[in-house]
Every structure is written in C-alpha cells, then in structure tokens.
Homo-oligomer: A and B are copies of this chain.
Amino acid sequence: MKSKISHNVQYAIENVKLARPRKRAAKGDGLLLKREILDAAAELLTQTGSEEGVSIRAVAEKVGVSTPAIYIHFRDKESMIMAVCMEVFNELDRRLEVASSGVDDPVEVLRKQGIAYVRFALERPEHYRIVFMRRSATPLSEVYDIDPVSTNVFQRLLATVHQCQDMGIFPPGDGIQIVLALWSVAHGLASLLITKPYLPWPDIEEFADLIFKMARLGMSAFSEP
C-alpha cells in the first residue's frame, strides 16, 4: 500500500531518532522514562484518536527510545494502557470536583457533575472509551489493588446521594444502588453519544439536562407516597 513511501518516511524518522537520542536516565531515575511513556501514550491516544494508534513502537519512538525499553517499565501493553486509564480516571474525578465546587444544593451538585461527566467523555472520547468500554483482562481495581467503591469518584457521588437521602429527596436505603443507577444513566448517555453520534441527538447540553432531570424525578418518586 505504501511500500516505497513508508520506507522513506521510516528512514527519515530513524534519522531524526539517531540525531536526537534520548539521554539515558541516571541510576535511580528509571521512573523518569515511565512518566515520559505515560505522557506520550496519552498524547498519542488523543492524536490518533484510537487505541490501535497507540502501539508500543509508536510510543517508544515518540519518547526517543527503543521498543523493548517500554517493557522495562510495563509488564505488557495492557499494563501501559491501564496506567493511562488510571490517570484519565483521576482527571475525571478532578473535573467532577471542580464542576460542583461551591455548590450547596446536593441535587444541583449531581446535575453539574452529570453534565461535567458527559462533557469530559465527549472531549476525550478515546480516553473515555478505554476506561469504560474496553474489555480489560483484569479490572483496574485489581491491578491497582483498589476497591472500586473506595474510588474518589464513587465516594464523592455516594456522599452527595446520602445528602439527598437525608433531605428526603431520594428514598432511604442502600445509597450504593442509587449511585449505580445514576452512574448508569450518565454512562449510558455519554457512551451512546460517543459510539452512535449519527443518531438524531438534540442539543447535547439540553438533552443531558433533560435526562438527568428525568433520573432525579424518577428517583425522588420512590420516596413519595
């Protein structure tokens, strides 16, 4: 398909690589490369717009290092991608925090966080995809030895839900179930928007507002006689 051309390109790239080799890290500084790898992988993900674009070779080249060097810091590609996921997940958490900072009404907090959630997903669709739509061999929670419920995102949501319950807005009982329900709604909208953008969606922000209002009203309906 691109035999001759790609050969030339490859040659050029190798020249660049040889011209600017990355300096080897000092003895205790192996983690420096790890950081560079994670950044390169994340950037490559947004650039190419798909996980397939993030090949070990592409990452290595971007960092200016040989391919197997990646394996010094990550067991395999899966681990590398997982590490990127973890960082994306943390960024999502920060976004949710910012979105609802200074807001008192817990219902309004949920609404703002819901919209921030969808917005984040649409801004970084491929990042969102690898976190929430991938078939990961081992769940993040296992790799990083974390109980998913003790995640910041989950705990933040749970606390807000508890507030709503205390105010009688949400029905009493297991708050976790309510969190899962709300999360399902937000995730459903976000992921369907990403994978099926050609469906006849209305204005996204308005529609998100409508759906979250529906969820809130529906949930509240349980606590009324």
Binding site for B on A (CB under 8 A): 49-50, 126, 129, 132-136, 139, 141-142, 148-149, 174, 176-177, 180-181, 183-189, 191-192, 195-196, 198-202, 207, 210-211, 213-219, 221-222
Stoichiometry (number of copies)? 2
Q: At the interface, is chain A mostly helix, strand, loop or mixed?
A: helix
B residues near A133, Cβ cutoff 8 Å: 129, 133, 191, 195
Q: Are A181 and B149 in contact (CB under 8 A)?
A: no
Is the beta-carbon distance between B191 and A189 smaller than 8 angstroms? no
User: How far apart are the CA atoms of A8 and B93 in the complex, in Å?
Assistant: 50
- Structural contact, B195 and A189, CB atoms closer than 8 A: no
Which residues of B lie under 8 Å from residue A195 when comparing CB positions? Answer: 132-136
Complex contacts, A129 vs chain B, CB 8 Å = 133, 135
Q: Whole-angstrom distance from the CB of A198 to the nearest CB of chain B?
A: 5
Complex Cα distance A196/B198, Å?
26
Given known pairs A139-B198, A188-B185, the reply for A213 and B218 (CB within 8 Å) is yes
A199 touches B180 (CB 8 A): yes
What is the minimal beta-carbon distance from A161 to any residue of chain B, in angstroms?
13
For A51, give the chain B residue with the smallest CB separation. B135
Known contacts A187-B192, A188-B187: A200-B218 contact under CB 8 Å = no
